[in-house]
Homo-oligomer: A and B are copies of this chain.
Amino acid sequence: MTSAKPLRVGMVGYAFMGAAHSHAWRTAPRFFDLALEPQLTAVAGRNPVGVRAAAAKLGWASAETDWRRLIERDDIDLIDICTPGNTHAEIAIAALEAGKHVLCEKPLANSVEEAERMTAAAEAAAKRGVFSMCGFSYRRTPALALAKRFVEQGRLGTIRHVRAQYLQDWLSDENAPMTWRLDKSKSGSGSLGDIGAHSIDAAQWITGQKITGVSALLETFVTERPLAGDLVGLGGHGDVGSDTARGSVTVDDAAVFSARFDGGPIGVFEATRYALGRKNAMRLELNGTKGSLAFDFEEMNVLSFYDGAESPDAGFRRIFVTEPEHPYAGNWWPTGHGLGYEHGFTHQVVDLMTAIAEKRQPEPSFADALQVQQVLAAIEESAANSSHWQKV
């Protein structure tokens, strides 16, 4: 590790994603051999007290109250954007133009237009050796990376069905408080962009195919929610009195859409935060002519695989994705000792640092994320047009 070149990181935002990213930067070099050594140089946030406390708690060497300061500082090589979507474009473009690598949380932006500008900036920067990546962290779940490997190995044959659900329930309670995630001006969309975007990216990445058209239905079940003080962050599960002031929910609570992929399969997607009892059920199933794969993030260390060639004694095989040969797994614990949610973020910065060190484009690029944004836009277009089929 002594020979590794430092990579000095400045992070913007320090709530849920900020904590996950901090852990990732801190932990990556302890389990992976890296050509770059991350340094937690500075964190930025508007609240002076909050950002200093976060710096101490999360292990950042300094704190700034304006993200522009991070970009001005000479001792920072990479800007890690963990803020709501409405701020992504401005920060990312400024950072790239200032010659700093960028890791930007998903969804890339709140509109296709923003995402296009970000992608243009990213492609211009890449020519100068400055790289960017969008944080679709589920790609770094070992089981989903193994799923992609299986598809690439042809173990599924021709894929016919894509079945994706992302089910949560933290809004099921009508009194769960208002949060920036429910304010379209900040988050861009609701379940669609927050969790549906993960399903879209994962499905396209694993199949190696793009969605060409969609038909969609969006629904908002609860249109007003109690305001509860500082709502930056995760959304919480607090109880509130009935006389609490209420804010308008301006995003979708649930998104349902069918899709076609350019390689033939049809897809059905559902994203919701109202599936009572489903906590983080990011599920994906692929059915091919030779095999099928199934995944549920609630059992994140398991990939289920059905090999049609084993018929009549075939069956879904629960692969515990903790073998040394499995993606990422060999750097952690012995077989059977599973990983948790935050490991995806650690793998994400490992992959990002490796690409930067090798001077090649990390994936998913901003262009990849722009295409997801275009799918999101097509979904909203279809939903607004009585579910009529909408080309992407």
Contacts and interface: CB of A to CB of B under 8 A. Distances in A.
Interface of A: 1-2, 16, 19-20, 22-23, 26-27, 30-31, 56-59, 146, 160-161, 163, 165, 168-170, 172, 174, 215-217, 219, 221, 234-235, 237, 254, 256-258, 260, 264, 266, 268, 270, 272, 274-281, 285, 287-292, 298-300, 302-306, 308, 310-320, 322-326, 332-343, 382, 386-389
Contacts of A308: 172, 276-277
A270 B268 contact: yes
Contacts of A174: 289
A234 B337 CA distance: 13
27 contacts: A20-B333, A26-B26, A30-B58, A146-B313, A160-B274, A161-B254, A215-B387, A217-B258, A234-B334, A254-B266, A276-B287, A276-B289, A276-B291, A277-B292, A298-B338, A302-B315, A304-B315, A313-B323, A314-B317, A315-B317, A315-B318, A316-B317, A316-B318, A317-B318, A333-B342, A340-B343, A387-B387
A382 B310 CA distance: 39
A107 to B, nearest CB: 18
Nearest to A274: B160
B305 A313 contact: yes
Contacts of A319: 313-315
Contacts of A291: 276-277
Contacts of A31: 19
Contacts of A277: 287, 291-292, 306, 308, 314-316
Contacts of A305: 313, 315
A313 to B, nearest CB: 5
Nearest to A304: B315
A1 B311 CA distance: 32
Nearest to A299: B299
B335 A279 contact: yes
Contacts of A168: 336
A37 to B, nearest CB: 10
A281 B318 CA distance: 14
B289 A268 contact: no
Contacts of A20: 333
Contacts of A165: 163
Contact of A324 (B169, B256, B312): B312
A146 B312 CA distance: 11
A165 B298 CA distance: 20
Contacts of A310: 317
Contacts of A292: 275-278
Given A22-B30, A275-B292, 17 more contacts: A19-B30, A170-B334, A215-B387, A221-B264, A235-B334, A258-B258, A276-B288, A276-B292, A280-B334, A312-B323, A312-B325, A318-B318, A333-B342, A337-B340, A338-B340, A386-B388, A387-B387
A219 B268 CA distance: 13
Given A23-B30, A237-B324, A337-B280, A268 B287 contact: no
Contact of A59 (B30, B257, B382, B388): B30
A389 B386 contact: yes
Contacts of A303: 315
B22 A276 contact: no
Closest 3 CB pairs of A and B: A279-B336, A280-B336, A277-B306
Contact of A341 (B275, B299, B333): B333
Nearest to A264: B221
Contacts of A215: 215, 217, 258, 386-387
A337 B235 CA distance: 14
Nearest to A341: B337
